Amino acid sequence: VVVRKNYTADSKRKVNKVVKANRKYKDTVFRILFSDRKNLLSLYNAVNGSNYEDSDVLEIVTLENTRNL
């Protein structure tokens, strides 16, 4: 949820508007972008400050398949 502070047109007072994120859409975009193993490895390296190069050794664990572990 993102709260944006805007000024109303007829006054100088601030009005808080709540903008709700479409989580399903964001999840779909994330999955599309990072379904490519090279992009996923790049994300992993950026988040962890590492410099791995072999995307074949990635083990992808999602919430959907954690029940099987």
DSSP the chain: -EEEEEE-TTSS-EEEEEE---HHHHHHHHHHHHSSHHHHHHHHHHHHT-----GGG-----STTGGG-
Domain extent at residue 21? 2-68
pLDDT, position 64: 72
Number of domains in the chain: 1
pLDDT in tens, 35-47: 899 999 999 999 9
pLDDT, position 55: 93
Specify the higher pLDDT residue, 17 or 2: 17
pLDDT, position 1: 47
Residue 30: band (very low, low, confident or very high) from pLDDT cuts 50, 70, 90:
confident
pLDDT, position 69: 54
